[in-house]
Chains A and B, each alone.
Chain A
Amino acid sequence: MPEKKIKYLSKEWADEVTRRCKKELTPEKMKHITSSMLTINTNCPGSKTKAVYYTLKNGVVESVSIVEAPLPKAEFSITAEYDMFAKISKAEVKARSALMSGKMVLKGNLVKALTLSPTVDRLNEVIAKIPTEF
């Protein structure tokens, strides 16, 4: 029986991300980092902008929530079109190439971002396993 798909950027999806991250990502795997990150999806269906807000404390993914304007402050923000995030989630495009091509915009300290990128990759690996409907 096919696995039930969860709608991307829904509260249910965010809850599932939180649940899986807490279960699969140990503080050691997440290098005990404390940070916050927004992935800002522009041109979502309905022409809205929606963002996923992640907070991490001492390597534990504390919360994942869907937010709209006004967006909370975060140490890092990554902005791209909804379709681009969808392609990245479906592994059709690599996040690195989206950044290098300018189709994705990072705000925040690049040196820190590069240091944290392996841990963010681990987070993305967990998210990619969630059956998602775009």
Chain B
Amino acid sequence: MPTKKLAKDDPYFIDFPKRIKSIQKEMAANGIDIYLGSRLRTLSWTLDAFCPWRSFIVIPPEGLPTVITFVIDAARVADESWLDQDHILGYGPMGGQDQVSLLSMLIKPYLKGGKGIIGMETGMGNYLPEGHLTLFEFVMLKAVMPKATFKNAHDIVDKLALIKDQGTINRFREASRIVDIGHKAVYDSIKKGGYKTMTETEIAGLAAYAMRKAGSEWEWSFTGGNEIASGYRTGLAAGACTPASRRKLKLGEPLMVDLHAMFRLGLGDHSHNYFLGKATKRQLWHAQNFVDLMHRCLKSYKAGISPTKLADDMLGFAEERGFQDYLVPGFEHGIGMMGDEWRIGLNDGPFDYWTNPEHEYKKDEMLICAVQYACPEENIGFRYENPILIMEKGCEAMSKFPLSVDVV
């Protein structure tokens, strides 16, 4: 159901017109005449609709924005967004209807004498569907608006999207509840030897089916949906990306199940780990390291802590216990509505477009607590992921599936 039909007291209600007004206020403060958004995260945050095709939002200094998306999807986006169909236009390969013609038609009225500042979204990312303005798009737009100045302005949206409102938080909670249903379905299927005829792709599929039945819109991760790894694949060196393969599950091997669900652009992302049938003492030693580390990690997240402070503590603990060689030294990635993934906080760190390790978390920020334990020489590894909400004195881990490594 589109958000435009949600009542203000609905737990998933988000005040999107207010978001637009807050962008417009920042545009005025930054001398930006018109904002051209192209990133997936910006589209989700402003539109309340999933835009899988290249799309743009043009935000004027006041009034409603207009979106252009591929014509085959414009009616669906309009159906789901709070904006009406007059503000969601389709583009296509026709005279006057291509991306550049439509964008210049929407932007030019706000450039006095052709001059003015256009806020754009450019940069660099390790997340492929980020959606920065491409060089070609920039060159074409500059050619039709030669007197305009283009200014990178994505910080406006990034700052505003950093602290999550109640509707967003509730959407993440619901997505996480759905992910837990997926985990239960996996557990029920693999327990008591049920895993014996299964492959990784089958695990991914049965989890997806359970989550879709519970209302998930898709297994949102660009890393192949539900990530499943078994055997040596759980312990790939420094590895934390395992799209499910056709590998058969085998007795005595580890199994990592990393599920993703989406609810109204809120994202569930939780991993659980198993041993299939039996486990050796050495395997259980690794598992205990991992579980203890995760308990410690989840106790550490709170307002005021930074990625570097947390990493120092976790790596110190790993060294004390003798498993530092197996720990990938990163403990989180950023998260927001669909398309906002990876970088924590703002683009203000020592390496452009990477997390600033000194970023201090604030109340109501969200992140994915993400830890990878990998021991390639023993073909064993575990992953933890869970959306967490930063609170004053702790954090809320949204997926409630019990933290353990189970022998099934």
Residues of A at the B interface (CB closer than 8 Å) are 79-80, 98-107, 109-112, 114
Q: Which of A79, A106, A112 contacts B94 (CB 8 A)?
A: A106
Are A99 and B85 interface neighbours, CB within 8 A? no
Contact pick for B96, options A106, A111, A112, A114, CB 8 Å? A106
Set A104, A111, A112, A114: member contacting B95, Cβ < 8 A:
A104
Extra 19 A-B pairs, beta carbons < 8 Å, given A98-B95, A100-B93, A114-B71: A79-B95, A80-B95, A99-B94, A99-B95, A100-B94, A104-B95, A105-B96, A106-B94, A106-B95, A107-B96, A107-B105, A109-B85, A109-B86, A109-B90, A110-B71, A110-B89, A110-B91, A110-B92, A111-B85
**Does any Cβ of A come within 8 Å of B74's Cβ?**
yes
Contacts of A79 in B (CB 8 A): 95-96
- Report B29 CB to chain A, min CB distance, Å: 33
Which B residues from 261 to 308 make CB contacts under 8 A with A?
A: none
Flag B35-59 by CB within 8 Å of A: 1 or 0 each.
0000000000000000000000000
Is B75 in contact with chain A by the CB < 8 A criterion?
Answer: yes
Number of interface residues of B (CB under 8 A): 17
Residues in B whose Cβ lies below 8 Å from that of A80: 95
In the bound complex, CA of A15 to CA of B316 (Å): 88
Give Cα A103 to B94, complex, Å: 9
Chain B 71-98: CB-based contact to A (< 8 A → 1; otherwise 0): 1001100100000011001111111110
Q: Once bound together, how far apart are the Cα atoms of A80 and B95, in whole Å? A: 10
Smallest Cβ-Cβ distance to A109: which chain B residue: B89
Decide if A110 touches B86 in the complex (CB within 8 Å): no
How far in angstroms is the closest Cβ of chain B from A40? 11
Q: How far is the CA of A76 from the CA of B78 in the complex (A)?
A: 19
Nearest B residue (CB) for A115: B75
Q: How far is the CA of A110 from the CA of B71 in the complex (A)?
A: 7
A33 to chain B, nearest CB (A): 15
Judging by beta carbons under 8 Å apart, are B94 and A111 in contact? no
- Which residue from chain A places its CB closest to the CB of B94 in the assembled complex? A99
* 9 A/B residue pairs, CB under 8 Å, sorted by A: A80-B95, A104-B95, A106-B95, A107-B96, A107-B105, A109-B86, A109-B89, A110-B97, A111-B85
Q: Are the CB atoms of B89 and A111 closer together than 8 Å? A: yes
Q: How far is the CA of A79 from the CA of B94 in the complex (A)?
A: 12
Give Cα A11 to B151, complex, Å: 51
Partner of B71, one of A99, A104, A111: A111
Given A110-B89, A110-B90, A111-B89, also A105-B74 (CB < 8 A): no
C-alpha spacing A112/B250, complex, angstroms: 55
- In the bound complex, residues from chain A placing their C-beta under 8 Å from that of B92 are 110
A107, B71: Cα distance in complex, Å: 14
Q: Would you call B95 and A102 a contact (CB within 8 A)?
A: yes
A71–chain B nearest beta-carbon distance, Å = 15
Partner of B74, one of A104, A107, A110: A110
Contact A111 B74 (CB under 8 A): yes
Which residues of chain B are near A112, meaning CB under 8 Å? 85
Task: Note all chain A residues with C-beta closer than 8 A to B78.
Answer: 111
Closest residue of A by beta carbon distance from B86:
A109
- Which residue from chain A places its CB closest to the CB of B89 in the assembled complex? A109
